[in-house]
Structure 1
Amino acid sequence: MKNFILALIVGLLVSACSIQRSAITGDKRAYGYSWEQEKQIGKEADEQIKQHFGVYDNVALQQYVNKIGQEMLAVSHMQREDTPATYKDTEFFFRLLDSPVVNAFALPGGYIYVTRGLLSHLDNEAQLAVVLGHEIGHVAARHASQRAFIQQMSQIALVGGAIAGQHFLGIPGGDLLGIGGMAAQVIFLSYSREDERESDRLGVEYASMQRYKSAEGAQFFVSLERMSAQSGQSIPNWQSTHPDPAERATSIPELAEEWRAIGYEQTIVNTDQYMGMLNNMIYGDNPREGFTRSGTYYHPEMKFQFSYPEGWHVINQRSLVAVVNNDQNAVSIMTLDNESAGAEASVNVFLNQDGITTTGKSGITNRGLQAFQAEATGQTQDGVALKFYLYSIEYDGMIYRFINYTTVDNYGTYGPRFKEITSGFRQLTDSGILNIQPVRLQAVKTTRSGTFRSFLPANLENLVINVTPEDIAIMNQVGLDERIESGTWIKIPR
C-alpha cells in the first residue's frame, strides 16, 4: 500500500510538469507549471502579498517604479519580435511595498515587487533599472517554475518555510503570517546561484539596452555587503542563494562593459529625478503601524495598546502581531477578525475546527469592553499536544482575536502570561503616542564640501527609530569619513 501511494505521487508529479519553449533561449525545457498556471499562481499570490505587506501609499512613486519597470520590460525577452505570443501578451505589474526591509522579488506570471527599504538604499534611476531588470529576468527565465520542477522530481514537498527561518511549535512561519497555499510554495522557493547570475546578466542587458549606466548597479551590492558585515549575517532575501555581493560588485561592471563594447552607450543615470521622487519617503519602521516601548506594544493608528512579558519579543506585521518567548515554545498571535459578529462568535470560529477540544469558555468584560475567552487542546501534525487560550475583544467597531498556545506541559507556566497579555489590551489615550509620526528621508544637494559625517543631524538619537551614522552612510553608498563634494545628493532621515 505504501509503495503504491508513493508510485502514485511520483506519477502525478511527472504528469504535472510542462514542456514549453524558453522565452530566453527558444529551446524546449521542463517546467513545474505551464505558463498559464504561473500567471494564475502570481495573480493569487499577489493578493496575499499586497494584504500582508501593504502597498506604499504614494501614487507618484508607485507610477515612477512602474514606468521604469515597463521600460525594462519593453526590451526584455518578453517583448521581442521572436517572443512567442504566449509570453508577449502577458501583462506585468510592478509594486512598491510598504516595508523597511531592503528587498526585491518576483512572482511567476509577471509580478515584480520592490520595497521602500530598497529604494532608500539606491542612489539613482540606473540602479533601480538594473534591479527591476534583474527581477524581470527571473520571470522571463521562469526560475521559480524550474525550481518547482526540480523539487517535484526530487519528491520534495513544496511548503512555505518560516519567515526568517523560524518555526513556532512546528507551525511554519508562512502559516503564522497568513501566507499559505500556492503563494507560500512560490514565495519561499529559493533560486539557485546560477539562476541569480542569469538574472544579473539579464538585468544588466535590459538596462544597457535602454542606455542606462548599468555599472551603477554594482554600488548597491557593495552596500549589501556592508549591511551584511554590519549585521553579522546575510541580508534577508538577498542571501545565501545569491552570489556573494563582492562578486556581483565586480561582475556587473564587467557585464556592462560587454554591452558598451557592442555599441550600447550607457549614459543615463538620472540622479536628480530619482532623488526628487525619493524625497519625503518614509524611512525605517513606521511607528503609526505599531511599535514597542518599555514592554508595551502601541498602535497609534488603531488606538490600542497592550503589555507583554519581559524577555518576550514582538513580530509586528500588517496582518498580525505575534509575541513570542525566548525559547520559541509559547506564542500569542493577535489578528483582526473581520468576519464574526461578536467576541463569542470569534472565539467559536477557532473552537469549531476539527481536532480542537474545548475545555472551558466564558464571557468577560475588560475595562468596559465585551470580551470572550476559552481554553482548548489540540495537537500538531507531529503529535505534539498543545493547549490554547483564546481571547477575543470588541473595540471601536472591530474584533481583535488573540490565539495563544504552548505545549500542554508548559501551559502551567505560560497560561498566566497569555492572560497578562490579553487582559492588558486597552484604549490608547496618550496624545504623544497617538500623534507620533514616521521618520522621512530628506533628499538634498550639499552646498559645501566635507566628510559625510559632517552632514549628519546632531539629534539622531531623538528620532523615533533606532538609526546609526553607519546605517545612513550605507544607505548613501559612502563611507562616514568619505569626502562629499558640494552639489552632491545625499539622503538624511529626519
Structure 2
Amino acid sequence: MSKALLLLSAAALVASGTAVTAQYAVRSLDPRLVAEARQEHTQVVEQYGGAETGPRAAYVDEVGHRVAAFSGVENPAGTYRFTLLNSAVENAFSVPGGYIYITRQLMTLMDDEAELAFALGHEVGHVAAAHAQQREQAERRAVRQQLPWILLGGIFGGNFGNAVANRGLLRAELQTLSFSRDQEYQADDLGLRYLVAAGYNPSGGAEILGALTRNSALQARVQGKDSRKLPEWAMTHPLSENRMQRAFAEAQSTGRLGTGITNRDAFLQRIDGMFVDDDPAQGVIDGRTFLHPDLRIQFTVPVGYLMDNGTRAVDISGSAGQAQFGGGRYNGTLENYIYSALQELLGDRRVPIPQPRRTVINGIPAAFTVTRTRTSSGVVDLAVVAYQWAPGTVYHFVTLTSGGAGLGQFASMIQSIRKITPSEAAAIRPRVIDVVTVAPGDTVQSLSSRMAYRDFKMERFVSLNGLSPGARLAPGQKVKLIVYGERRS
C-alpha cells in the first residue's frame, strides 16, 4: 500500500488515553509521498463526489493555510493543499503527501471558523508528525476488509475488473480508521497548538467534537432504517464523552479559552446555501431506494443490503451477495452488451456464457444471463442484467452470489427498476443550509418545524445548533435550518 489516509471522522475521534505533549514535525515531506498524493488526488476527488470550487473552496484553503503556517514544515504554503469535497459524509482526512480533504457535510455541522480551523489543523498535525509512516499494519487490515472487491477485480481481469480492484484498493486506503491512541491525541494537541498560534479561540476543538458527538447520537437513532453504505473511511460512531471533555480541558489549559477569533458570522455566511446530504446530480439514496432525477432511474435494494453511491456506479452489498449498477451510452444489442460485460469481467477465464434471455421489466426491454465460475473463494454465480433505457443508452446490474443461488435476493431489485416521471424527477430537490435570524416569537418548536425531513425534526434542529429542546431563542440570534433548495444548474 502506497500510503494511508488520516481522518477526523467521528470514529477516528473515539479513542481515549494519555496525551502526547511533544511536537514531532518533519522539516519537509518525502518527495515520493508528495508525488503519490498528487497522482491519486484526481481519483480521490472523483470517487468522493468531486471538488467544490469558488469562494467556499477558497475560504477553506485560506483557513487551512492559516493554521498550517505554524506546523513546523518547510514552505507550508507550497506543501499543503486543501480540498473541499462534495460528499454527503461528515469527515476530514489527509494523506502523507500534504493533501488534506474536508467534506461539505462536516462543515455543515460546524458553527464557526475556529471549529473549521481545528478540523484542518488536526489533519495538518497528522501530516507534520509523519503519522502515515506508522500505519502499515492498519493498512494491511484495511486491505483485508476490502478483499471481496479486490479479489473480484483480480479474478475476472479486464478493464472492468481492474477498475473494481483499483476501487477496492482505494477504499482500503480510505478506511484506515483505527488510529493509535497516541497519534490521535498528538494530532489533537498539534491542531490546538496551531489553532492558538493562528489567533483562534481554542474552544474550536471541543465544539466540533461536541457537534460530532451530538450528530453521532442522532444518526444512531435515525439511520437504523437507512440503507446508505458510508465509505468505510467515513463511518460514524459515537464519540466518547471523555474525549470531548479532554479537548475542553486542553483548551482551558491554554489560558485563552473564550478569546481569539471565531468569525461566526463570516463562517455562517460561507455555508449558507451549502448542500446537506445527497447532491441530486449524483443520485439520491432514500432508505433502500436509489433515485436519479437526471437519468430518471429508480430501484430498491433488498432488506438488509447497503448502497454506496459512487460517481460512476452504485455498489450494493449484503450478507448473501454483491451487485453493481452502472451503464450509459451504448450502440448495439442487449445480448452483445451482456457478452461484452461478462468477457471483461471474466478476462481470460474460459467460462461458458449461456444465451441471454429477453424479457420486459416495468415496460423496459431487458435481457439477462447467469454464468458460474470457480474462484479462490469458491464457486460463484455471476449475472448481468441489461436494460434498453433509450436508443443508444443501456444500464445494467452485475450481481455476484454464491454458486447455485442465481440472482438470489437480487431478483426483487432487478424487477424494481423503473423510469420515474418528469414530475417525480422535478420533486427531487437538495437539502441546503439556511442561516436565519431569530425573529420575535420564534421558538425551537416553530423553527424546527421548517426542517426538510419527515421525522426527527426537532432532534435534528437542536443537534445542528447545539441547543436543548427547551432552549429559549433570542431575537437577532442566528441559527441554522436545513430546508429544500434549488438544484445546481
| TM-score range normalised by the length of the shorter chain | 0.7 to 0.9
Amino acid at match of 2:475: S
Amino acid at match of 1:39: V
Question: CA 1:395/1:464 → structure 2, altered by over 3 Å: closer, same or farther?
Answer: farther
Aligned to 1:161: 145
Offset at 1:362? 2.9
Offset at 1:115? 1.2
Aligned to 2:192: 204
Offset at 1:253? 3.5
- Conserved in 2, the CA contact under 8 Å of 1:284 and 1:465? no
Question: CA 1:170/1:484 → structure 2, altered by over 3 Å: closer, same or farther?
Answer: farther
Equivalence map 1:388-403=2 (5 Å): 388-396=382-390, 397-403=392-398
Q: Considering only CA atoms, is the larger Rg found in Structure 1 or Structure 2?
A: 1
Equivalence map 1:83-482=2 (5 Å): 91-148=79-136, 159=143, 161-162=145-146, 180=167, 183-189=170-176, 190-232=178-220, 245-260=240-255, 266-291=259-284, 297-309=290-302, 314-324=307-317, 328-336=319-327, 343=334, 344-345=336-337, 346-355=340-349, 357-362=351-356, 364=358, 366=360, 373-382=368-377, 384-396=378-390, 397-411=392-406, 414-415=407-408, 418=410, 421-422=413-414, 424-448=416-440, 451-457=443-449, 460=451, 463=452, 467-482=456-471
- Conserved in 2, the CA contact under 8 Å of 1:131 and 1:217? yes
Question: CA 1:180/1:292 → structure 2, altered by over 3 Å: closer, same or farther?
Answer: closer
**Alpha-carbon separation, structure 2, partners of 1:404 and 1:192:** 37
Offset at 1:320? 2.2
**Alpha-carbon separation, structure 2, partners of 1:482 and 1:64:** 32
Amino acid at match of 2:299: F
Aligned residue for 2:135, secondary structure, equals helix
Offset at 1:206? 0.9
Offset at 1:139? 1.2
**Alpha-carbon separation, structure 2, partners of 1:178 and 1:68:** 36
**Alpha-carbon separation, structure 2, partners of 1:294 and 1:225:** 23
> CA offsets per residue over residues 428-486 of structure 1, 9 Å max, x none?
3241334421121110222337653343235x4xx366553212211112222222322
Offset at 1:136? 0.8
Amino acid at match of 2:192: V
Q: Which runs of 5+ in 1 are unaligned?
A: 1-22, 29-33, 81-87
Question: CA 1:347/1:56 → structure 2, altered by over 3 Å: closer, same or farther?
Answer: same
Offset at 1:303? 1.9
| Stretch of structure 1 that moved more, 475-484 or 246-255 | 246-255
Counterpart among 40, 44, 48 of residue 43 in structure 2: 48
Flag the structure with more relative contact order, 1 or 2, with Cα contacts below 8 A and sequence separation at least 6: 2
> CA offsets per residue over residues 85-116 of structure 1, 9 Å max, x none?
xxx58532212222222211112201111111
Offset at 1:212? 0.7
**Alpha-carbon separation, structure 2, partners of 1:94 and 1:420:** 43
Amino acid at match of 1:306: F
Offset at 1:135? 0.7
Offset at 1:118? 0.7
Amino acid at match of 1:377: R
Aligned residue for 1:358, secondary structure, equals coil
Aligned to 1:3: none
> CA offsets per residue over residues 141-169 of structure 1, 9 Å max, x none?
12122112x569xxx5661635xxx9789
Aligned residue for 1:361, secondary structure, equals coil
Aligned residue for 1:484, secondary structure, equals coil
Offset at 1:71? 1.2
Aligned residue for 2:356, secondary structure, equals strand
- Conserved in 2, the CA contact under 8 Å of 1:45 and 1:182? no
Q: Which runs of 5+ in 2 are unaligned?
A: 1-21, 154-161, 224-229, 484-489
| Stretch of structure 1 that moved more, 119-128 or 61-70 | 61-70
> CA offsets per residue over residues 167-199 of structure 1, 9 Å max, x none?
789869xx9977547634432233212111011
- Report the TM-score, using the length of structure 1 for normalisation: 0.76
Counting matched residue pairs gives 440
Aligned to 1:19: none
**Alpha-carbon separation, structure 2, partners of 1:405 and 1:221:** 40
**Alpha-carbon separation, structure 2, partners of 1:464 and 1:356:** 51
Amino acid at match of 2:295: M
- Conserved in 2, the CA contact under 8 Å of 1:366 and 1:423? no
Question: CA 1:171/1:194 → structure 2, altered by over 3 Å: closer, same or farther?
Answer: farther
CA RMSD of aligned residues (A): 4.0
Offset at 1:391? 2.5
- Conserved in 2, the CA contact under 8 Å of 1:446 and 1:489? yes
Aligned to 1:31: none
Question: CA 1:339/1:39 → structure 2, altered by over 3 Å: closer, same or farther?
Answer: farther
Identity %, equivalent residues: 24
Offset at 1:208? 0.9
**Alpha-carbon separation, structure 1, partners of 2:67 and 2:332:** 48
Aligned to 2:475: 486
**Alpha-carbon separation, structure 2, partners of 1:239 and 1:428:** 31
Aligned to 1:61: 56
- Report the TM-score, using the length of structure 2 for normalisation: 0.76
Amino acid at match of 1:159: V
Aligned to 2:19: none
